[in-house]
Amino acid sequence: MREPKEPSLPPAGARGLTVSLIAAVAQNGCIGKGNDLPWHIPEDLQRFKSLTSGQTVFMGRKTYDSIVARLGKPLPGRRHWVLTRQPDWHPAAAHAAQVQRLSSLAEAIDQAHREGLQSLWVIGGADIYAQALCYADALELTEVGVDVDGDAFFPDWGTQRFSASFSLQEEGPWANSAQGLRYRFLRFARKQSSPVAAVVLAAGQGSRMGSRPKSLIKVQGQPLILRLLATLRVSGIDQISVVLGYYADEIAAVLAGAGVTILRNPQPERGQASSQKIGLASLTTEAKAVMVVLADQPYLEKEDLQQLLSAFEKRPPDIQFVFPRVCGIPGNPVIMTADLARFFAQQDPPLEGRQWRAENPQACLGFESNSRHFIEDLDTPEDLAMLQASRRNTVIRGPQ
């Protein structure tokens, strides 16, 4: 057997690191069976080779084992990073120059950045794809036109969460492989997150509502909090943090799989400003502005949020805080610049938005709206009864 040549390092990246997951996926999401591929599609292997040759491929130990079992050696012409929890694991001596053991995904990403790599190829298997999906900039997939009864699956395949995170960039035509299976090549890219992030405050005790979680009250069969998240998403806001306090476990259970960052306020009794501070402190650096949203506004709609976003977009240069005003009454949600959000996140004791607004009127813009959704909230059983009896067709029920 000819020794594979040691691959040379990819050149230092000028435009930053791209993390790509590359996989062949059956229509039902299956990628493997019995620690092997469930098919042999030479065209897929050829594409895999042409995309990854000369570069660094990152994989779980089981996938590495399956490659070596199949080829008798690592993939020629590629540097391998193998993730394992076994401290004494090492590749066969003949492969040591080409294979490096890593003990965490974070270590791999960090090393790729330090070396200035332009590309890191995550090549599986299921366990590693599941952990790496949140780091992926791109997905190079071969869709195989069958359902397979296997034991390894691609994460989030066919789910709403997948389509919320990735958009299809290229869709090749279906073709028949030499061995008869249908396949096509798909390229997905991560959707750019909106420069406006949202912090949803859902930490309250609901004491005036008879001490129950208002976020879980159902509107048209859907918990209020999920309806609100959907409204934020259709308004183009993808980066969402939800701050929980009272009833945190109950609400977190409903939020599982909703693709939001869940934060907990350990002292919700300190009031809304303390939850807002926790939410604003969690923001990433890409956010240019933050919408602060109360979880108990049952009728907010896409059009309302668009009015708010548009008022913020068109604000004069010195304005840092924008809020709706209906018949002179200030409403919610509000939007603040990222700089102001950072200021709020540093205040101790936590600073009330209302107080800052009163002290800095020159930096605030209240825009007039005729949408009452901005000032309607669900505070008391009377509010709930009034909404149930309102002329709207919306059906509101208590948590079930």
Ligand X SMILES: NC(=O)c1ccc[n+]([C@@H]2O[C@H](COP(=O)([O-])OP(=O)(O)OC[C@H]3O[C@@H](n4cnc5c(N)ncnc54)[C@H](OP(=O)(O)O)[C@@H]3O)[C@@H](O)[C@H]2O)c1
Kindly list the residues in this chain that would bind ligand X in the complex (CB under 6 A).
Answer: 23-24, 31-32, 35-37, 59-63, 66, 83-86, 89, 103-105, 123-128, 131, 152
Cβ-based nearer residue to ligand X, 181 or 196: 181
**What per-residue string of b and e applies to 35-65 under the rule 16 or more CB within 10 Å gives b?**
eebbbebebbeebbeeebeebbbbbbbbbbe
Cβ-based nearer residue to ligand X, 132 or 305: 132
Cβ-based nearer residue to ligand X, 86 or 192: 86
Give me the least distance between CB of 191 and ligand X, in Å please: 23
DSSP 46-97: HHHHHHHTTSEEEEEHHHHHHHHHHHSSS-TT-EEEEE-S-TT----GGGTT
Q: Which amino acid makes up residue 58?
A: F
Give me the least distance between CB of 1 and ligand X, in Å please: 22
Give me the least distance between CB of 368 and ligand X, in Å please: 53
Q: Are 44 and 141 in contact (CB under 8 A)?
A: no
Cβ-based nearer residue to ligand X, 128 or 224: 128
Q: Are 265 and 234 in contact (CB under 8 A)?
A: no
Cβ-based nearer residue to ligand X, 35 or 222: 35
Cβ-based nearer residue to ligand X, 33 or 212: 33
Give me the least distance between CB of 177 and ligand X, in Å please: 14
Q: Which amino acid makes up residue 76?
A: P
Q: Which amino acid makes up residue 197?
A: A
Encoded tokens for 92:
């066969």
Give me the least distance between CB of 210 and ligand X, in Å please: 44
Give me the least distance between CB of 268 and ligand X, in Å please: 33
Instruction: Indicate left, alpha or beta for 347 from its phi (over 0: left) and psi (-120 to 50: alpha).
Output: beta
Q: Are 41 and 158 in contact (CB under 8 A)?
A: no
CA distances from 226 to 195, 258, 273, 324 (A): 22, 8, 23, 23
